[in-house]
Copies of this chain bind each other. A is one copy, B any other.
Amino acid sequence: MATPIDFYFDFSSPYGYFAAELIEGLAVKHGREVHWHPVLLGVIFKATGAIPLLLVPLKGDYAKHDLKRFARLHDLPFAMPSNFPIAGQHASRAVLHVQQQDPQLATQLAQALYRAFFVNDQNIGESEVVLQVAHALGLNTEDLAAGMHSEAVKNMLRDETAAAQARGVFGSPFVIVDDEPFWGVDHLPMLDEWLKRGGF
């Protein structure tokens, strides 16, 4: 079995949302599995001194334009949320909690949360909204609420973020496969080529 694709993302990252829509199709094409790693990029940015993309002068305005254009090109629904950025800890913890029981369902939840935020303008920074999205997927929200607020899952997110940072993850989306790092949704075509050729 080929090694999995490690997919790192922050729920506040619009390019992360695009990658979340595209990564599974790419993986299936090459017989790979995707391991989904929600991380808190804010924690990593504090360590590296980086600024969220959309707040960078000029580059931020360019990105706002580029995001809409990328969505049109790939036929993905997209609207900048009215509350932005949000803190992704509740959404991230929900995904990590569900992952322990059912990784595939956790992937569906991650995609549903991203769509809630970047398509339907729901504020997934709030735990109630995270639970509503989970409920619509048929999840047991009582179990999920307890899990999301448990120390174990809080630690899990802390550990995931630290592990990502230790592997050199500095942005979202970020993919590592066979120890090869790919940053940004613009690098998915290169990842595709990498998997096709088995490296180059």
- Which A residues contact B (CB, under 8 angstroms)? 48-50, 56-59, 61-62, 65-66, 69-70, 72-73, 168, 170-171, 181, 183-184, 186-187, 189-190, 193, 200
CA A170 – CA B189 in complex, angstroms?
Answer: 24
> Given that A48-B57, A73-B200 are known contacts, is A62 also in contact with B183, CB under 8 Å in the complex?
yes
A189's closest neighbor in chain B, by CB?
A: B189
Complex: chain B residue closest to A184, CB-CB = B186
* Chain B neighbourhood of A190, CB < 8 A: 69-70, 73
A-B contact pairs, 17 of them (CB 8 A): A49-B57, A58-B170, A59-B170, A59-B171, A59-B183, A61-B168, A62-B168, A62-B170, A62-B183, A66-B183, A69-B190, A70-B190, A73-B190, A73-B200, A186-B186, A186-B187, A189-B189
Complex Cα distance, B185 from A189, in Å, reads 13
- Within the complex, the shortest CB–CB distance from A184 to chain B, in Å, comes to 7
Nearest B residue to A180 via CB reads B69
Q: 5 extra interchain contacts, Cβ-Cβ under 8 A, other than A48-B57, A49-B57, A65-B181?
A: A50-B56, A69-B200, A72-B200, A184-B186, A189-B189
What is the CA–CA distance of A49 and B56 in the complex, to the nearest angstrom?
Answer: 9
Could you tell me the distance in whole angstroms from the C-beta of A40 to the nearest C-beta in chain B?
A: 16
Central interface residue in A66, A70, A184, by most chain B CB within 10 Å? A66
Residues of B within 8 A of A50 (CB): 56, 59
Chain B nearest CB: distance from A123 CB in Å?
30
Chain B, Cβ-Cβ closest to A181: B62
Name the residue in A49, A56, A69 with the highest tally of chain B Cβ atoms < 10 Å from its Cβ.
A69
- In the assembled complex, the CB of A200 is this many whole angstroms from the nearest CB of chain B, namely 5
Cα separation A181 to B59 with both chains bound (whole Å): 11
Which residue, A49, A57, A58, A200, has most C-beta atoms of chain B within 10 A? A58
